[in-house]
Structure formats: C-alpha cells, structure tokens
Homo-oligomer: A and B are copies of this chain.
Amino acid sequence: MRYPYNPENFTSFHSSETVYDKAFLTRLYREMLRIRRIEEEIASRYHEDEMKSPIHLVIGQESTAVGVCAALEKTDLAFCGHRTHGVYLAKGGDLKAMMSELYCRANGCAGSRGGSMHLFDKSVGMESSSAIVAGSIPTSVGAAFASQRRKDKFICVSFLGDAATEEGAFWEALNFAALHKLPIVFICENNFFSVCSPLEVRQPKVAIYKKAESFGVPSVQIDGTKVLEVYAAARQAVERARSGAGPSFIESVAYRYLGHGGATDDSASGYRDPAEVEHWREHDPISTFHDFLVSKSQLTATEIEQMEKEIRSEVLSAFEHAISSPEPGEEELMTHVYSD
C-alpha cells in the first residue's frame, strides 16, 4: 500500500466543541449522500451505453465539494476540472440539467455541447469547468480579479487535482492571485493519482501545500474525508478572501474508489493495490460522518431512511427526465460560435 490514510500530517480545523445545529449537519450529510447515490446510479447504468460521455466519478471524495460549498454563498463562483459532478451538485447545480447533459440531450446544462467534463450552472455560481487539466485555474483567478476590481461581493473557489499542480499555469495563476491578494480559495483535491500515475512518479516527496505556502499563500493540508474539517478550513479561507486578505490554498486529502474514468474499480489492473482502496473505504466520508452524527444523536435511522427515499425518487425522476428529453438538432452546430 503506497498511500495509507495518515492523519498525522493534517491540520485540524474543526474542534469538537464547535456546535452546529442539527439542520446544518443533516444538510451536509444529505448532500454527500445525494452525490453518492447519483454517482452510483450513473455507474450502474453506464454500461447501457446511453450516457455517451466520459465520466469521472467522485465516490470517496464527496466531502470536499460538500464541505467547501457549504461555506459559500450562492453568488460565489466555483470552477473545476474534469471531475465535475461533486462540485456541480454541491454548488446547487440542477440535477436534471446535469443528467440531460450526460445523456447528450438538448436541455443538458451545456445543450449537449460540453458533456460530463463541462457541467456548469451559472444561476447558482457553478461558473465553469475545463477538460484540460489546470485549464480552469487561470479562469477562476480572472473572475476573482474582476470581483476585486469591481468591488463585487462574490469570491471564487478553484477546484483542482494533485496533477494540476504540475502544470505551470497553476503557479502562474497562484503568483498572480498572491500578488494582487485576490478573493479566491484554491482547493487541491489530492487523491494521489493522475489517471493511473501515482504521485511518486510525478512529484518529488514534498507536500503540495508547502509549495503553495512558499508563494505567500496561506496553505494547509486537511483530512478530506471529514466534511466538518473541510467546512471549517474552507470557512476560514472564504472569510479571508471575503475580507480582502487574499487567497488561500487547501490541500484536501481523500481517495477515489473507482477508476479514474468510467464506472468500475480498475485497481486489479495493477496500478494500485486493491487493499489500498479497501483501506480508504474504512475512512469513507459518508459512513464516518454517519457514525459521528449517530453518536451525537443528530441523526436517526428513520431520518436516514426518509432521506434515502427522497433522494432515490429525485434521482429516478432526473434520469427519467433526461432519457425522455429530445436530442439537439443539426441547426445547433453553428450557433454561439460567436457571441452577439
């Protein structure tokens, strides 16, 4: 096992004294569960070959998107890479429009032009994503710059993977954000892999957040499997951004259970130890939080059952919506090449 769960390196933000109200805690739990169930449903139907789109599921990493977005206003803007589903849903993106996009329908959130790697919903601040690794990082910094110069109220959050920090553009964007003290939070979801390539063949053994820190950006590494840790760290960073104190960098460590793309676990192929996946499943963001909430009597079996039911019905009707929606026509091809 190359990358065991290693809490020693994490900075802790959430103290057990902090008291959140039940509604908030339930909301976090529900959002993670909802993302998990949606991803599972996508995975279970992917073999039907009707979602003709490359998918990058977020199972195992739900806590980062949910914890971060819980610290945001609806007007704040989120940006991400190819692994879009979690951020899109946590930011409040329309599920039906997402499913339509995956099913290549005209009413998809990108009108079937973007596919799974280009989900967005500008009405809730899910502003943009890019299928080019690190491609949306400069975009996010530019939006933060606009906010600062125009004295807009929104801040930006840039979600990126560990491999995105190998692209020079990330360091260029980080430098600019630090130089101008822009209202932005970088969330680096470190899951140790870039497709099948482990961190060790891509970066020397130095922590990613330490590098960001050296650029003058307050940076931490946190336990990305714990939604309250993520939330607390994000709150601090969001506060910093909103107050004009500049950017922050959060390295959130969590693990993806399934393959880089597609719907199955490909660990057996040899690039990682299947035991590593099992190991991380023991630190599953949802069951960990479940146990925590139950131990604190904040969640009951009945409530969970009810939740599952509601989510199930929402998911089914979103799939139904997508499947029964029309495909775009040829006339779509040449529209919006230019904006008016």
Q: Which residues of A contact B (CB under 8 A)?
A: 166-172, 175, 178-179, 201-206, 210-211, 213-216
A172 B167 Cβ-Cβ under 8 A = yes
- Nearest-Cβ distance from residue A323 to partner chain B, whole angstroms: 43
- 4 residue pairs, one from A and one from B, having the closest CB atoms: A168-B168, A214-B214, A204-B216, A178-B204
Given A167-B172, A168-B169, A179-B203, 17 other A-B residues pairs in contact with their CB atoms under 8 A? A168-B168, A168-B170, A171-B171, A175-B203, A175-B204, A178-B206, A179-B202, A179-B204, A204-B215, A206-B214, A206-B215, A210-B214, A211-B211, A211-B214, A211-B215, A213-B214, A214-B214
CA distance in complex: A169, B171 (Å): 9
Residue on B nearest A247 in the bound complex, by CB: B204
Give the dominant DSSP class at A's interface.
helix
- Find chain B residues with CB under 8 A from A216 CB: 204-206
Residue on B nearest A211 in the bound complex, by CB: B214
- Find chain B residues with CB under 8 A from A170 CB: 168
Contact residue among B172, B205, B211, B214 (Cβ-Cβ distance under 8 Å from A166): B172
CA distance in complex: A201, B175 (Å): 11
- Find chain B residues with CB under 8 A from A206 CB: 178, 214-216
- Nearest-Cβ distance from residue A202 to partner chain B, whole angstroms: 7
CA distance in complex: A170, B171 (Å): 10
Most buried by B among A179, A203, A204, A211: A204
A-B contact pairs, 13 of them (CB 8 A): A166-B175, A167-B172, A168-B168, A171-B171, A175-B204, A204-B215, A204-B216, A205-B216, A206-B215, A210-B214, A211-B211, A211-B215, A214-B214
